[in-house]
Structure 1
Amino acid sequence: MKQYLQPVAWGVAMACIVALASNFALSMVVSTAQAATTHDHSHHVAPAAAEVKPGQRWATDAALREGMTRVHEAVQRNIPGDPRQPLGDESAAALQRDIEAATSYLIANCQLPEAADAALHGLLIELLKGAEALSEAEQREQGLQRILAALDHYQQIFAEPVWRDGFVAHLH
């Protein structure tokens, strides 16, 4: 019996260690990303009224289009085909990793004008908070809705891309 239980016990112990390490790493990424998205722009302070006027959207750069397309594709790849189905553990973990990687890419490659950059930072914070909520089963749906709302808001305030296949994830 020991020959069967000992590997299972070690497997459970390792899974707990990996889960704790992942949670710690996520906390570090979210904290770092939130700190990075609030970096000092005092050299070009954008007025509070720098919001996009109705009917207008901020221009994008290649890095923004790439990063947000990565987020969009990760959502499309990981949400269940049936909107009544909950987001599973594996899909939630994959989506969380993909969003964290995409936001890290966006933070590292931020080349937007000041006002557009400020608008992007708000979106990144929403994406990261949504991704963080995916790790908790009871908060998962709320986190997913936060991510979907950020993607919808992105399309409202930034020009391009309007994804070729449409954004069907908001039906979830």
Structure 2
Amino acid sequence: MAFPIMQGMNPAQQISAERDMKVSMNLPISVFALLVALKAGAVLPAHAQHTHHEPARDTRGSSAPTQRFATDAPLREGMVRIHTALDTLRHYEMGHMPQPLAIEQVADIQSAIDTLFATCKLEADADAALHGLLVPLIAAVQAFKQNPADIGTIAAMRQAVADYPRLFDDSPSRYAAGTDSDPSH
């Protein structure tokens, strides 16, 4: 089904947008409104001190930047927290972790996202690229909260941040291919 907002999108973007909307329908209204605002490039109130020079855009379909974006300490620390939790959640995916512990790990991911919005200070292009990663991560976190038994939501979280080392100059060895944080692993 094509929505008027999807006019001008290529077929792959329309499919992605429709999938995002279908996932969003299961989310609480406030979270859905957050995702719509992020997709439209609006500034979040909790994120108001974050300087924006241009609206957020989806970076998943774009080519790699010629030079990766610089990071700040809050971004590096937040991504370490997110990747550490995702690595730990592999035990849940394999059935070796009880659900309450998995829920705690996902809460840690949500906390890291909240901290990123509150403290991360990036240039406009880097900020837009980061939003392109965080929007699908937030959707996957919310989907997990609604159905913690669906381990596919963890794979979606991992996929959401898969482009981070390609987009950001943040100690490449930390997220190198073949490590626990590598989504293809």
- With the length of structure 1 as denominator, give the TM-score of the two structures: 0.65
1:39 corresponds to which letter in structure 2? V
Aligned position for 1:56: 67
Query: Residues 155 and 149 (structure 1 numbering): CA distance in 2 closer, same or farther, change over 3 Å?
Result: same
Question: Which runs of 5 or more structure 2 residues have no equivalent in the other structure?
Answer: 1-26, 45-49
Aligned position for 1:3: none
Identical positions, percent: 31
Bigger CA radius of gyration: 1
Aligned length: 145
Query: Residues 47 and 67 (structure 1 numbering): CA distance in 2 closer, same or farther, change over 3 Å?
Result: closer
Contact 2:64 2:167 in 1 (8 A): no
Contact 1:100 1:128 in 2 (8 A): yes
Paired residue secondary structure (1:97): helix
Which segment is superposed worse, 102-111 or 151-160?
A: 151-160
Give CA deviations for 1:38-67 in whole Å, capped at 9, x if unaligned. 31899722697x966455311111111011
Question: Which runs of 5 or more structure 1 residues have no equivalent in the other structure?
Answer: 1-25
Query: Residues 59 and 43 (structure 1 numbering): CA distance in 2 closer, same or farther, change over 3 Å?
Result: closer
Give CA deviations for 1:71-92 in whole Å, capped at 9, x if unaligned. 01111223218x6548752233
**1:67 partnered with 2:78:** yes
Instruction: Give the root-mean-square deviation of aligned CA atoms.
Output: 3.7
Aligned position for 1:141: 151
Q: For 1:72 and 1:42, how far apart are their aligned partners in 2?
A: 26
Moved over 4 A (4+): 26-37, 40-43, 50-55
**1:116 partnered with 2:149:** no
Query: Residues 115 and 151 (structure 1 numbering): CA distance in 2 closer, same or farther, change over 3 Å?
Result: same
Q: For 2:169 and 2:175, how far apart are their aligned partners in 1?
A: 16
Aligned position for 1:126: 136
Query: Residues 66 and 129 (structure 1 numbering): CA distance in 2 closer, same or farther, change over 3 Å?
Result: same
The residue correspondences of 1:59-98 to structure 2 (distance < 5 A) are: 59-80=70-91, 84-85=94-95, 88-98=98-108
